[in-house]
Amino acid sequence: MTAHLIRKYAAAVPRYTSYPTAPHFHEGIDSAIYASWLRQLGPDHSLSLYLHIPYCDRLCWFCACHTKHTLKYEPIATYLKSLHLEIEKVGRHVSRDAKVTAVHFGGGSPTMVKPEDMIALMRCLHAAFSFSPDVEISVEMDPNDLDAGRYDALAAIGMTRASLGVQDFDPKVQKTINRIQSFEQTKSVVDAVRGRGVHSVNCDILYGLPYQTLETLKDTVRQIISLDPDRIALFGYAHVPWMKKHQTMIPEKALPDVSERYRQMTMAADMLVSSGYQAIGIDHFAKPGDTLALAMKGGALKRNFQGYTDDGADALIGLGASSIGKLPQGYVQNMPATGEYERMADREGLCVVRGIELSPEDRVRAFVIERIMCDFALDLTALATLYGPAAAVVIAEARQFAEGDRDGLVQLEGGVFQLTEAGKPFARSIAATFDTYLSNGRGRHSVAV
């Protein structure tokens, strides 16, 4: 890959975990509209729940999540009371015949929640919603929070997938990003959750971190592979200090440039594939028998705010401060500020403050961008069949892109717009050409490699 292509196509663009992306949500979508959308979820709809715990007992400098630091449990206990109220109120608007097929606890650090409070939280969910017998329950875990009681509580709530943020095992990198976590700690978590029957383990790795080199990253990848996780996410560090002020603690001069990031990405990806993992989209890897790999093979791979997923639920309901949900009508987001979220939950129950209703054109472009991000391909004939005349403009744009491509990133054969091997690393940039919101200047984004 030439330096010219990297410079040309590694511009800052969205990660496309939604379309339209979050900077384009607006205050015209409020809790009243959200309530009406919830009431339209009928008995035949399947549901996915995301619960956000916006607290950490240490703040990692690299993190771009909505979270805050606390060494006390009182703020978490107060927050959980409000979360219970929101769950109860949302549940009243949804048909009890609609089945929950997936639950994801994210943060922050959900594993900061005390064992008895985690069990009470799951009990609250079961009281508000009907669960499918084979529901998948995933939890983001911080090894520094865990003890026997918490492991047992997670087993008691039926956790099926554990997700561990590793980032990098190199001591210098860890110190610089304020994420001290040894390989031995991480291995102990993997062993503990597997010992309690968890069938799937995911590990996150970051490239593009300060002081990270090809050799240090190679050591980290080797150690991760030795843990034999079922899935691995290989994310590029998103340096967005204008949005997350704590990232100013990271020395920018220690960050690798875009060419070095590309080398780190491709080296780590090659190591994972050589070890038997199947590449999923732009940044995930899974064992061939994993449900994520099977979803990709069957054309059912999806993308949401947690990244690539095999979650095919009709609606994603976000619960907690800053949580984003997606319903058939569009996207909604809860109040991000924790204190104000608690006041809204205590007063009204529903906490949505912005969102966006999908237009017919949004739906076409969302489908196109998701397929490019998931399949690296777009069947133009199928697109026309699915959306009719509404797809005509986008199909013309795809043909125009392919005809004007002088860099060998895409090819158009048999009515299929297909990214080449040279084009796949730049899927975000290619997807961005179909984003009609991007030109209005809202939002700043991380580099595409």
Question: Coil, strand or helix: which one is 8?
Answer: helix
Instruction: Look at residue 150 and tell me whether its pLDDT is greater than 70.
Output: yes
Per-domain residue ranges for the chain?
Answer: 14-357, 360-437
Report phi then psi at 427, rounded to 5: -60, -40
Output the pLDDT for position 6: 82
Output the pLDDT for position 448: 53
Output the pLDDT for position 5: 81
Q: Which residue has the higher pLDDT, 13 or 362?
A: 362
pLDDT in tens, 18-67: 999 999 999 999 999 999 999 999 999 999 999 999 999 988 888 878 88
**Residue given tokens 């993992």 in the structure block:** 277
- DSSP label of 22: G
Quote helix, strand, coil % in the chain, to nearest 5.
Answer: 45, 20, 35
Contact by Cβ (8 Å): 98, 47:
yes
The amino acid present at 61, given as its one-letter code, is W
Query: What burial class does residue 282 get, using C-beta atoms within 10 Å of its C-beta: 0-12 exposed, 13-18 middle, 19+ buried?
Result: buried
Instruction: Look at residue 254 and tell me whether its pLDDT is greater than 80.
Output: yes
Instruction: Look at residue 343 and tell me whether its pLDDT is greater than 70.
Output: yes
- Structure token pair of residue 155: 């087993």
Output the pLDDT for position 446: 53
Region label for 136, one of left (φ > 0), alpha (ψ between -120 and 50) or beta (otherwise): beta
CB 96: neighbour CB atoms within 10 A?
11
CA angle, residues 218, 219, 222, in degrees to nearest 5: 85
Q: What is the pTM of this model?
A: 0.93
Output the pLDDT for position 212: 96
CB 240: neighbour CB atoms within 10 A?
13
Contact by Cβ (8 Å): 112, 121:
no
Identify the CA nearest to 64 among candidates 210, 253, 319, 238: 238
Identify the CA nearest to 80 among candidates 38, 106, 52, 109: 52
* Mean pLDDT, residues 103-112: 96
The β-bridge partners of 235 are 206
Output the pLDDT for position 247: 86
The architecture of the domain spanning 14-357 is: Alpha-Beta Horseshoe (3.80)
Query: What burial class does residue 251 get, using C-beta atoms within 10 Å of its C-beta: 0-12 exposed, 13-18 middle, 19+ buried?
Result: exposed
Instruction: Look at residue 1 and tell me whether its pLDDT is greater than 70.
Output: no
CA-to-CA distance for 106 and 88, rounded, in angstroms? 19
Report phi then psi at 196, rounded to 5: -105, 15
Would you tell me which CATH number, out of the four given (3.40.50.300, 1.10.10.920, 3.90.850.10, 3.10.28.10), belongs to the domain 360-437? Answer: 1.10.10.920
Output the pLDDT for position 82: 98
- Structure token pair of residue 345: 């939950």
Contact by Cβ (8 Å): 272, 221:
yes
Contact by Cβ (8 Å): 358, 344:
no
Output the pLDDT for position 115: 98
Instruction: Look at residue 449 and tell me whether its pLDDT is greater than 70.
Output: no
Question: Coil, strand or helix: which one is 40?
Answer: coil
* Mean pLDDT, residues 352-370: 97
Output the pLDDT for position 10: 73
**Residue given tokens 């009371």 in the structure block:** 81
**Alpha helices per DSSP H over 196-257:** 214-226
The β-bridge partners of 49 are 103, 317
- The sign one gets for the Cα dihedral 394, 396, 400, 403 is positive
* Mean pLDDT, residues 317-321: 98
Least confident of 205-209, 241-245, 355-359: 241-245
239 pLDDT band (50/70/90 cuts)? confident
- Structure token pair of residue 321: 């401060």
Least confident of 101-115, 239-253, 320-334, 434-448: 434-448
Output the pLDDT for position 410: 97
CB 97: neighbour CB atoms within 10 A?
11
- Structure token pair of residue 293: 């790999």
Instruction: Look at residue 441 and tell me whether its pLDDT is greater than 60.
Output: no
Output the pLDDT for position 429: 94
7 pLDDT band (50/70/90 cuts)? confident
DSSP letter string over 370-394? HHHHHHSEEEHHHHHHHHGGGGHHH
Peptide bond before 20: cis, by omega within 30 degrees of 0? yes
340 pLDDT band (50/70/90 cuts)? very high
Output the pLDDT for position 58: 85
Q: Which residue has the higher pLDDT, 413 or 65?
A: 413
Question: Coil, strand or helix: which one is 360?
Answer: helix
CB 152: neighbour CB atoms within 10 A?
13
Output the pLDDT for position 12: 79
Instruction: Look at residue 440 and tell me whether its pLDDT is greater than 90.
Output: no
Least confident of 123-127, 241-245, 348-352: 241-245
Instruction: Look at residue 190 and tell me whether its pLDDT is greater than 90.
Output: yes
117 pLDDT band (50/70/90 cuts)? very high
Least confident of 74-83, 304-313, 333-342: 304-313
CATH topology of 14-357 equal to that of 360-437? no
Instruction: Look at residue 175 and tell me whether its pLDDT is greater than 90.
Output: yes
Instruction: Look at residue 443 and tell me whether its pLDDT is greater than 80.
Output: no
Average pLDDT score over the chain = 94
